[in-house]
Structure 1
Amino acid sequence: MGKIIAIANQKGGVGKTTTSINLAASLGVLEKKVLLIDADPQANATSGLGIDVENVEKGTYQVLEHTASAAEVVIKTSSPNLSVIPSHIDLVAIEIELVDKDQREYMLKKALAPIKDQYDYILIDCAPSLGLLTLNALTAADSVMIPIQCEYFALEGLGKLLNTIKSVQKIHNPDLDIEGLLLTMYDSRLRLSNQVVEEVQKHFNEMVFTTIIQRNVRLSEAPSYGESIINYDAASKGAANYLSLAHEVIKKNK
């Protein structure tokens, strides 16, 4: 039975896409069958895995519109055991197009139902907003992972996201769990980074992943080569961090 994890935070630049790509690749390397869904119109998860966004003919947009099945639009990547449903800038229009549809929050859930059992994990890279796209992801997901940047405004907006999750649980998806809070962009030399870690762990103790994603140059370089950190530099700190996170996710879901 596949587990669907949405990776969400309405704040931009907190490491959602980096986490989506590298956690997906790490789970793949650990011999799990993984599907990554790019649900962000910026399509960074698509290009970050070496897929030319300009040439994407069918992807998340068509899946949400139900003009193509999820199985039809899956693309295999060069990363072991990892496939992707790509995105394209046309996904921007989906919010407007779904507005007057019946059960508009359930479009992704319905589309994934036929393929859910073919994967161990399905990760959804959400857009940095709490619009219909993210709502679809949260309604389809079994759990949500929240990346939090180790910076000054880290906890700002977190309350809003947790409230959104609560209302999704109440109205659309009573089974939605919080997979965990993931601290990203950590720099051990900065006092602020350490303060944020302490603060988050104090407030959310059990909910916080033990793994902390450190700032890492190789990690920022990898997407420009269209590769996950595992393919780009398996010996880097970034690769070690994401493999550790993958182990933690697998252990948690045993």
Structure 2
Amino acid sequence: MAKIVTVTTQKGGAGKTALALLLATGEALRGERVLLVDLDQQGDASYSLVSDYDPSKTSYELLTSESVQVPAVATPVSGYLNLDLVPASLTLERVEVELAGVLDAQFILSDKLEAVKDDYDLIVIDTPPSLNVIVSNALTAADKLIIPVQADIYSFKGMATLAQRVKAIQRRSNPRLSICGIVLNRYNPRTNLSKAITEALNEVAEQFNTKVYRSTLRDATAVREAQNAKQSLFEYAAKGAKVTEDAKALLNEIEEDLKNG
């Protein structure tokens, strides 16, 4: 039965989609059956994996149409034997309005993923950088939460608000939700700023009752180049790239957390 992992943060540009792609493609290449659900209207994860898909079969339809279930909108990703994608759509921007007044709207995604949990080993949810009904759905559906944080002072803005939302979800709609940890992204260990942020981040982790992952992801053009080439980082920079070694180490840490609970 699949573990469901949501990747979210309120701050844009923190590497949320890159982390979701790393987790989904990395586990698929290791032989796991993976579903990536793209809930970000920008659709960067979808663009990075699939060149073309049916615009009427997306996560928007999954959230707004009672009759649409996951198998109807899941697209196999070429080049992977066991990776499926529920792509995003620009129409996701309308979800907030369309679900206004819908009873228990935050449970829509959870209910639909429950029906396919036996078909996958891992389900990864990429989210928009906000705290809207889409993110509430993603948090209500998840077993685990991973929070990426960019190594700059602006990434701490909104973290307290996110912590409050997570605690509210744990109290009301998803008591099983736990936070795996915080990932420091675009990190340069040689700068004094990054070192100071690392120290501050440990204090932030206490708000979430979690940890900061030991493995960080350095700032590297290979990450963006891999996305543009529609390849995983593990394939695009398979040998010798330090960022790929970072990613493998982080993936190992996350795997350990998922296995242990």
Pairwise TM-score range, normalised by the shorter structure? over 0.9
> What is aligned with 2:21?
21
Q: Which residue in 1 is equivalent to 2:238?
A: 234
RMSD of aligned Cα (Å): 1.6
Q: Show CA shifts across 1:193-244 (max 9, x none).
A: 1211122135537611111011111112221222221232222223222222
SS in 2 for 1:147: strand
Query: Structure 1 residue 88: deviation in Å?
Result: 1.1
Question: 1:30 maps to which residue?
Answer: 30
Alignment deviations for residues 68-100 of structure 1 (CA, whole Å, 9 cap, x no partner): 210111111123532111111111111110112
Contact 1:25 1:80 in 2 (8 A): no
- Which residue type is aligned with residue 111 of structure 1? K
Give the structure 2 partner of residue 200 of structure 1.
201
Q: Which residue of 2 aligns with 1:161?
A: 162
Q: Counterpart of 1:133?
A: 134
| Secondary structure of the structure 1 residue equivalent to 2:202 | helix
- The equivalent of 2:89 in structure 1 is 88
Shift of 1:187: 1.1
1:44 is aligned to 44
Specify the code of the residue in structure 2 equivalent to 1:160. Answer: T
Q: Which amino acid aligns with 2:37?
A: I
Quick one: distance in 1 between partners of 2:224 and 2:154?
21
1:4 — aligned with what?
4
Partner of 1:251: 256
Taking the aligned partners of 2:216 and 2:115, their CA distance within structure 1 comes to: 34
TM-score w.r.t. length of structure 2:
0.92
CA distance in 1, matches of 2:252, 2:157: 29
Structure 1 residues 143-222: aligned runs within 5 Å: 143-201=144-202, 203-204=204-205, 207-222=211-226
The number of residue pairs the alignment matches comes to 253
Instruction: Provide the rounded CA distance (Å) in 2 between the counterparts of 1:203 and 1:8.
Output: 15
Q: Structure 1 residues 125 and 110, CA, compared in 2 at 3 Å: closer, same or farther?
A: same
1:57 maps to: 56
Alpha carbons of structure 1 residues 111 and 76: separation in structure 2 relative to 1, 3 Å? same
Check conservation: 2:188, 2:219, Cα contact below 8 A.
Answer: yes
Counterpart residue type for residue 82 of structure 2: N
Q: 1:23·1:243 contact (CA, 8 Å) conserved in 2?
A: no
Q: Tell me, yes or no, if the aligned pair for 1:146 and 1:180 is still in contact at 8 Å.
A: yes
Letter in 1 for 2:123: I
Contact conserved, 2:11 with 2:155, CA < 8 A, in 1?
no
Give the direction of change, closer, same or farther, for the CA distance of 1:203–1:41 in structure 2 (3 Å limit).
closer
Q: TM-score, normalised by structure 1?
A: 0.94
Give unmatched runs, 5+ long, in structure 1.
Answer: none
Say whether the 8 Å CA contact 2:184–2:213 is kept in structure 1: yes
Structure 1 residue 115: Cα displacement: 0.3
> Which amino acid letter does the alignment assign opposite residue 40 of structure 1?
D
Q: CA deviation at 1:176?
A: 0.8
